[in-house]
Amino acid sequence: MLTISFLIRAAGRGIERRLLISALAGIALFLTSVAGAEIMSISTEKANVRESPAMESTVLWQAWRFTPFKVREWHEQWAYVEDFVGDTGWIHKSVLSETPAVIVAGKYANIRTGPGMDYEVIATVEREYPLKAIERNGDWLQVSDDGEIEGWIFVKLVWGSITPGRDKF
């Protein structure tokens, strides 16, 4: 396996060396940005997802409390975010939180009284229903909407994070 320092030395002092260093720096920057993606959720009842990072910008859609987003980049007080289906927009940081949250990614999901198929179904939620993540137990996640629903959901039916600010589990 070749090391980076060997590749740079082997490239000599000319244009090849500068190109190699630039290429390696670009790869490192790309890997850092992908690995550094964080998940944040909406902290208010509703939040506007905008076309550009400005209050007067067009509202593309509204997101409900606990909707998780992957933060792609920051521009001053604005986060450029991506949702679980790949839609993107800008959200002001004042309505974002590191509260662990998930969203139902399938057509629907059952919420149960405990972490397993043998537990009673207490609610059925539809696609795009956002939930606060409380605790993980194997393939099950304890969730709440801070209102009517608190129970357990199968993790493969949701997208988001159970660790504050961390990428999908």
pLDDT bucket at 111, cuts 50 / 70 / 90: very high
- Contact (CB, 8 A) for 124 and 110: yes
- Contact (CB, 8 A) for 125 and 108: yes
When comparing pLDDT for 27 and 98, which is higher?
98
**Does the model's pTM come out above 0.85?**
no
C-alpha to C-alpha distance for 111 and 150, rounded to whole angstroms: 8
State how far Cα 14 lies from the chain centre: 42
C-alpha to C-alpha distance for 101 and 151, rounded to whole angstroms: 14
Angle at 132 between CA 77 and CA 143, to 5 degrees: 170
